Amino acid sequence: MPQSERKLYQFPISHYCEKTRWNLDAKGLSYDIENLIPGPHRLVTKRLTKGNRGTVPVLVDRGVVVADSTEIALHLERTYPSTPALVPVSGSERERVLELEAFFDETAGKHVRRWAYAHLFAGNADIAPLMFGDFPAPLRLLGRVLLPVIKQAIRKQYQLTPPKVEESRVKLLEGLERLEREIQGDPSRYLVGASLSIADIAAASLYGPLLAIEGSPYAARPGEIVPPAIAEMRAAVLARPAGQWVLRRYQEDRRRLARGYGARSEAANG
Ligand SMILES: N[C@@H](CCC(=O)N[C@@H](CS)C(=O)NCC(=O)O)C(=O)O
């Protein structure tokens, strides 16, 4: 397979990386994926960003290194403005898209991650298939060996303490309420205007881990045991307009744009 002009450095499990894959797919751009192991990944991300950033996603686009999923979305918009446009060029709609993108990046991004990891760990869920399933066999094994250390680092870095986890539950529910206000309770509406924008992509991808939607990286795996707190949250969110909205964005928009999760997409225009 010929190499793409773009390479995405990522964790398969990360919803920020899912957001970037969706942004790339929405632009019809091809990209290769390099999956990293949490922890040692910093050697790669720090080298790429000349010491500036440790996090994934990092995109290298024709030699240009861009870190942070929002920066990547904006870079893609500047570089490939019309394939299709995902941010209005000017005016109040542009301001709204940028504000909503930033809001969901923080609210869904940080708080879904903390809440979900806390309950996955408490319920002893096996996260290795999602974290390392796409890796070549030797790295899968290494990942399994390192998993207890990775989990400890996640507990510490994302502050998985009971008060913080409770705060995140409240915040992620507040984010769903805002989503419902913005779409006026109608799961068929986009957040701003009549077409998909980077704000929709941020909200849908960052709430995605709660819902296990078919075609998302978080879809149920055979034999997977879902901790009861997660199953309850999933049912409660799916019963409301915000959950139905995320489902529709995956079913109607993500499915149309992507050739499948994890595909090294050969591009429409890449
Ligand atoms: N605001 C950043 C957040 C990225 C982020 O927190 N990435 C996590 C994975 S979900 C990460 O790389 N964690 C490992 C680390 O911080 O070393 C973005 O949008 O890219």
Mutate to test the pocket of ligand 1, among 56, 110, 157 (most ligand atoms within 8 A of CB): 56
Strand order in the sheet with 58-61: 32-35, 6-10, 58-61, 64-67
Question: Is residue 266 assigned to a domain?
Answer: no
- Cα(199) to centroid(ligand 1), Å: 18
* Together in a domain, 64 and 99: no
* Together in a domain, 132 and 233: yes
| Across 200-227, average pLDDT | 94
CA distances, 54 to each of 44, 51, 57, 67, 108 (Å):
8, 8, 9, 9, 21
**Which of 22, 57, 79 represents a domain boundary (last residue)?**
79
Contact, 25 vs 257, CB < 8 A? yes
**Tell me, what CATH number does 64's domain have?**
3.40.30.10
- Cα(131) to centroid(ligand 1), Å: 14
Q: Alpha carbon 202 to chain centroid distance?
A: 7
* Together in a domain, 136 and 222: yes
- Cα(250) to centroid(ligand 1), Å: 22
At residue 82 the predicted structure's pLDDT band, cuts being 50, 70 and 90, is confident
Q: How do residues 94-121 score in pLDDT, each as one tens digit?
A: 999 999 999 999 999 999 999 999 999 9
Residue 270, pLDDT above cutoff 80? no
**Closest C-alpha to ligand 1, atom 9:** 14
- Cα(91) to centroid(ligand 1), Å: 30
Exposed, middle or buried, 222 (CB in 10 Å: 0-12/13-18/19+)?
Answer: exposed
**Tell me, what CATH number does 121's domain have?**
1.20.1050
* Together in a domain, 101 and 55: no
Residue 164, pLDDT above cutoff 50? yes
Could you identify the atom of ligand 1 that is nearest to the CA of residue 113?
10
**Closest C-alpha to ligand 1, atom 2:** 68
**Full residue range of the structural domain in which residue 101 is found:** 91-257
Residue 3, pLDDT above cutoff 90? no
The reported pLDDT for the residue numbered 258 is 60
Question: Is residue 85 assigned to a domain?
Answer: no
Q: State the total domains in the chain.
A: 2
* Together in a domain, 219 and 109: yes
CA distances, 132 to each of 66, 125, 150 (Å):
24, 14, 12
Q: Pick the residue with more confidence: 65 or 268?
A: 65
Residue 218, pLDDT above cutoff 60? yes
What does the CA dihedral 203, 208, 211, 217 come to, rounded to 10 degrees?
A: 160
* Together in a domain, 215 and 139: yes
* Together in a domain, 75 and 95: no
Question: Is residue 40 assigned to a domain?
Answer: yes
* Together in a domain, 153 and 25: no
* Together in a domain, 27 and 69: yes
Question: Is residue 188 assigned to a domain?
Answer: yes
Per the confidence metrics, is the pTM higher than 0.75? yes
**Which of 79, 109, 136 represents a domain boundary (last residue)?**
79
For ligand 1, residues with CB inside 6 Å are: 11, 14, 16, 38, 42, 54-57, 68-70, 105
Could you identify the atom of ligand 1 that is nearest to the CA of residue 19?
19
CB atoms within 10 A of CB 18: 26
At residue 1 the predicted structure's pLDDT band, cuts being 50, 70 and 90, is low
The whole-angstrom separation of Cα 41 and Cα 126 is: 21
| Tokens found for residue 264 | 């090294």
Residue 123, pLDDT above cutoff 70? yes
Question: Is residue 225 assigned to a domain?
Answer: yes
* Together in a domain, 23 and 102: no
Could you identify the atom of ligand 1 that is nearest to the CA of residue 54?
17
Residue 80, pLDDT above cutoff 80? yes
**Which of 53, 79, 105 represents a domain boundary (last residue)?**
79
The reported pLDDT for the residue numbered 266 is 35
Question: Is residue 20 assigned to a domain?
Answer: yes
Question: Is residue 183 assigned to a domain?
Answer: yes
Question: Is residue 263 assigned to a domain?
Answer: no
| Across 216-227, average pLDDT | 92
Percent of residues, the chain, with pLDDT higher than 70: 94
- Cα(24) to centroid(ligand 1), Å: 18
* Together in a domain, 73 and 123: no
* Together in a domain, 227 and 123: yes
- Cα(102) to centroid(ligand 1), Å: 15
At residue 215 the predicted structure's pLDDT band, cuts being 50, 70 and 90, is confident
CB atoms within 10 A of CB 270: 16
Could you identify the atom of ligand 1 that is nearest to the CA of residue 38?
14
The reported pLDDT for the residue numbered 88 is 92
The reported pLDDT for the residue numbered 243 is 98
Mean pLDDT of the chain: 93
At residue 269 the predicted structure's pLDDT band, cuts being 50, 70 and 90, is very low
| Tokens found for residue 4 | 């793409």
The reported pLDDT for the residue numbered 83 is 85
